[in-house]
Structure 1
Amino acid sequence: MPSTLVHVAIGGLVGAALLGDRFTPRAIAVVLVAAAIPDLDSVLTTFVGGAHRSALHTLLLPTVLAAGLYWDNQVSDRSWLGERFGPDAGYVAAVAVVGLAAGGILPDLFTNGVNAFWPLHDQFYTVNGELLLSDQRGIVQTFVDLSPEKPASTTDNTRYSTGADPKPWTEQEGPVERTFPVVTAGWQLMVVLLSTVSVGVRTWQVRRSDSLNSRR
């Protein structure tokens, strides 16, 4: 599964692409932190069974945040974010919500599953498969499987191994190795490197522009 570093890296790519002329070190930091937030539920699982990939990986979280931002920026007479953090705060917050969803939740949904609609509906979903063109079978896809999984994966029967809880469902006797993944596949390393370069170049461009403007 993608590590927190990979989630943050994807958030960095989202921020570099969407912040535009609002890109600042502070703004991209907000997006990076937002992308890391969903993985905090791996700590909650030591106190609440099944919390990991449920409590903060639910798609309801970015939905509620997006609704709150829409109210604050479009409906309310006065923007709470704008008054406290400046005129660009609403836009930066919106990009952060996209970073949270695209960087923090979707990579897990597209690998080994999240409890997408928790707590309204307790079931883990995974979007994983293949799409190919065959000269004998035509179009073949395995992403959508309408046959119900038996039993359905829920917080009662599903646990993910984490550094905080390395051996769920088992009594931990003696020393237990706790591993915290950094990158576990070549594509993950590629994403981290691309994000590092993209965010680094954008940061350099902004600072260079600010330096030139200050000399004028």
Structure 2
Amino acid sequence: MPSTLVHVAIALLLAAGLLGEAFDRRSALVIAGATILPDLDVALEPILSGAHRSVGHTFLLPTLVLAVLLWDTQFRADSWLRERYGERGVNVAFVAVVCLFGAAIVPDLVVGGVNAFYPLHDQFYTVDGRLFYSTDRGWVQTFVDLSPPAQPQDRPRTTGNFDFRTVLDAEPTLGQSGGDGGSAGSQQPVERLFPVAMTGFRAWLLPLSAFVTGVRLRQAD
């Protein structure tokens, strides 16, 4: 799954392109904070199984925040956000919502899936597939499968029967075993994973985002 660092890297690239002169250290921190917010649902796993990628990754979260922003900035006679932070603050807030959805939630939707409409509808969804043009087959896409199912569908994933592995989970290690040589009766070693970049593409996003962010922040000084 994409790590929180990868989510923040995508968000800072979006903010650097969308905020223009409003991109500075303060706005970068706001964007990063908004992007980290969904992943905090992992803290609820001990009391609510399946909370990760459900409570904080529901589409309802950015929808609700966007509705509040629109109400405050477009329909109120005196906008609290505009009066306190000016037009610059309004722009940062709307870009933060874009990053909340486009950098925090959507990358998880296409890698493993999210509980998109939780709690109104408890089911994990994944958007995955391919789109290409073949000289033999023409246009081919597998994102939407319109063919009749060849076999009965598997039981949908919900918070009741599925949860993602998180940093809180200690599972049997795939690395080296302990120093006891794996003798009979010995306890199997376990590990906790703290993902940084689990694919080469995601690993490239980290220095790329750091470079772009650094250049933009230097220009803002």
Q: What TM-score, normalized by structure 2, do the two folds share?
A: 0.86
Q: In the alignment, what sits opposite 2:71?
A: 71
Which of 142, 151, 156 is the equivalent residue of 2:155?
151
- SS of the residue aligned with 1:158? coil
For residues 56-114 of structure 1, the C-alpha deviation after alignment (integer angstroms, 9 at most, x for no partner) is 10111101101110011100111112233333211111111111111110110011100
Kindly state the Cα deviation for residue 124 of structure 1 after the two structures are TM-superposed.
0.8
1:55 matched to 2:59:
no
The DSSP-based 3-state class of the residue aligned with 2:133 is strand
After superposition, the CA RMSD in angstroms is 1.7
Deviation at 1:175, TM superposition (A): 6.4
Which has the larger displacement, 186-195 or 134-143? Answer: 134-143
Q: Does 1:162 align with 2:190?
A: no
The range that moved more, 78-87 or 11-20, is 78-87
Counterpart check, 1:86 vs 2:86? yes
Matched, 1:196 2:210: yes
Larger Rg: 2
Q: Distance in 2 between matches of 1:58 and 1:149?
A: 23
SS in 2 for 1:133: strand
Identity over aligned pairs, percent: 51
- How far did residue 18 of structure 1 move? 0.7
Q: What is the deviation of 1:156?
A: 0.9
Q: Which residue pairs with 1:210 in the alignment?
A: none
- Structure 2: gaps of 5 or more residues: 172-186
Q: Deviations over 1:19-50 (max 9, x none)?
A: 11211210111001111111111121121111
> How far apart are residue 174 of structure 1 and its match?
8.1
How many residues matched?
202
Q: Distance in 2 between matches of 1:81 and 1:175?
A: 52
CA offset digits 1:154-178 (Å, max 9, x no partner):
11111111111344xxxxx886411
Structure 1 gaps of 5+ residues are 168-172, 208-216
Q: Which residue of 2 aligns with 1:29?
A: 29
